[in-house]
Structure 1
Amino acid sequence: MSFAWAKPYEPTSPFMKWVDERLPVPRLVYGAIGGGYPVPRNLNYFWNFGVLAGLALMIQIITGIVLAMHYYSYAGGAFDSVERIMRDVPAGWVLRYVHQNGASFFFAIIYIHIFRGLFYGSYKAPREMVWMLGVTIYLLMMATAFMGYVLPWGQMSYWGAQVITGFFSAIPVVGEPLRIFLLGGYAPDQAALTRFFSLHYLLPFIIAAVTILKIWALHIPGSSNPTGVDVKDEKDTLPFHPFYTAKDGFGIGVALLIFSIFIFFLPYSLGHPDNYIEANPLVTPAHIVPEWYFWPFYAILRSFTVDFILPAKLWGVLAMFSAVLVLFFLTWLDRSPVRSSSYRPVYKIFFWVLVADIIVLGYVGQAHITPLNVALGQVASAYYFLHFLIILPLVSKFERPLPLPNSISESVLHGEKQESAPFGLATTGSTTAAPAAAE
């Protein structure tokens, strides 16, 4: 589909013309994120989180490269090297705080991005591949974050590696050899630290490569939108630049402001105090917990306490991995022809129940093991799988959606009342108001 406002790329200087004729990267960028890329005109601020995720990835890669120049991946000196970075390396404390809190920043963005996708049906055709590549990135992030958490070689780093890798031994036949292969021995030590450091350095570049594939896949069908209605004509779209570059710029400014508050005023608030004690294999912490972004999965892992056909430990491992893998199959589990929950009143209720359920799982994942917390985790874990495997297919089959607008431009320009978006934000933002006034 051609658009009247979409102008072909024209270099403005002899140098850029020379570059474009030999290596058309500027033309590629212009078509991908510039004035040549049409975007639905009704995107709200939840569509900022894709750009924010890319920003967070770049922050982690750049700070990680610099920190790797000063880090010493030796079990007898890793903890001291982190202390030296904090005290002796110029601006080392800023680099470490940015990288340490940047992981939480990255995961917070990704979780909001995932929930936006769940609410607005971004996993539905024709964007199935975009969604599945996003879930792949999420899995790679989890592996990268786990290995990075081991590198400071504090108490929680050591015992977290001991406990999490110990669950692999529950897998029949291959489990124990796999655990020994990962650790390079029978317990976390020099071999494990070296391997985790190597993989932690490598995986972000793999994430960046998969991100490029995801952007490529996105540009084939184009961006989704809050109504879930397909683009009909050029009235439904705006050029990405300058409308959404300005909107993304504002979102980046707000996100960096919040991020800066954690870096300069709350740098330790998202970490565990035991990880500021050097690793000691002879002293087990009273309460071993992962980072906050793993709490829901840790709760699912601990919810299996009784052997039934298979050992409870193996059931926990299978359930933990299945909690992520089920996201790959959402396109086929949700058969509703309507994408956006704004027009699906029944599904919207269950969406918010799922959000509450995951919050409960997060609480249980960091709480001490008590009979009440175990029972709460078991109920919340059961509902998590019930939502995706039972409720979602049934709702998509029997739900009666609300009438959809005929087009994006009709819902934006003709004042059609929009259903509330998640977290109370309207589905039409500032980038749609100005063109609407111009009409």
Structure 2
Amino acid sequence: MIEQQRVLATSIPGPRSIELQQRKMAAVSAGVGTGLPIYVTAGEGGILRDVDDNQLIDFGSGIAVTNVGNRNPRVVEAVQRQMEDFTHTCFMVTPYEEYVEVCELLAELTPGDHDKRSALLSSGAEAVENAVKIARHATGRQAVAVFEHGYHGRTNLTMGMTAKNMPYKDGFGPFAPEVYRLPMAYPYRWPTGEKNCLDEAFEAFRSTVHAQIGEERCAAVVLEPIQGEGGFIVPPEGYIARVAEYCHDHGIVFIADEVQSGFCRTGDWFAMDHEGVAPDLITTAKGIAGGMPLAAVTGRAEIMDAVHPGGLGGTYGGNPVACAAGIASIESMREDDLNARARHIEELLVPRLQTIADRTGVVGEIRGRGAMLAVELVSDLDLKTPAPELTAAINKACHERGLVTLTCGTYGNVFRFLPPLTIGDDLLMEGADILEEAFAAALA
């Protein structure tokens, strides 16, 4: 058991972490970056312990992965039990019940009461790429529409779908063809103001699909209901429903990318639940399995079953150990009511973020939902000038004080907060205290 308290035994990073970072630089590709070079030896709840015996408060959850808390006891027990039985057979060779059970749970939990099927994979990018494959096969069309500020992964296709160049795309092209980028409904930065965003953004979406793609050529529209790496951008209420209806009217597969927003993160099982929209396909990963590599595409049976046998799969997709972890994670989400917990985190954290905004004058917007929250930092509130240097300085100050934080955003000026849903109130509030200190230090 790790005591749920912050401990600063050394400076951050400490001497052993610095030594390990030197080894990393000598052995690991420079292309694999490290945001906070502390080397972790243990994690539990809202705490990460490093090799120097520092204990840091975790506001990142491994980028929205450890929703049920690190080393969740149900997950650990399920993984150990499955490891004792068998570790791999490849579901496409000799199947096993755990894969089927995960798919049954996904059919039950994902939005909509229609008949559903799933395919299990190993990463979010793999899920998105397979969703596009399925949509193309089912419709006989090729074009795929994505949105400004979107992030969908690091494979060749999903890099092409991702908006941000650095560090994800620079120098890696050419990318897969027939990917088209649409204007995003970004209320804070909509040119004519937030009140006009809903109608104007939808008309921009509609006219762009019509003029630049052609509805009859468009296989799929892929949308994050709350954009992740792009800056936790939340489109205006009703926008997603309009997009989904338009897709339905034109035979376009509407794909919700919930890799980051799924599994209780936003206070619902999925962010689409809040929208009251059932997508044709939904992609999931990250928070599904308590840290084990598992991902899925789930969707309407007639679309998922349109693919010929053998057209979907992969050697490690739906690995039995990862499936056992996924089943246990979903059990924890239910038993511990982590949707309610995510909403409680929002209730506690947003007022603290508002206090920081009021005191500093550099927070342009607080946004998000549940335990998927963000602040966008600007150097001028009227001009909304992005402040990436200030964001980096505050992030560094948080790290030095023992708080694991993450930044994001197309302009590098957004703090995102993704604490484990099992974090205690005391740790959450201490993290908010540290954040206030970091803002003060960076602005001094």
TM-score bracket for the superposition, by shorter chain length: under 0.3
| Structure of higher CA gyration radius | 1
Bigger fraction of residues in helix = 1
More strand by share: 2
Q: TM-score with structure 2 length normalisation?
A: 0.25
* TM-score, normalised via structure 1 length: 0.25
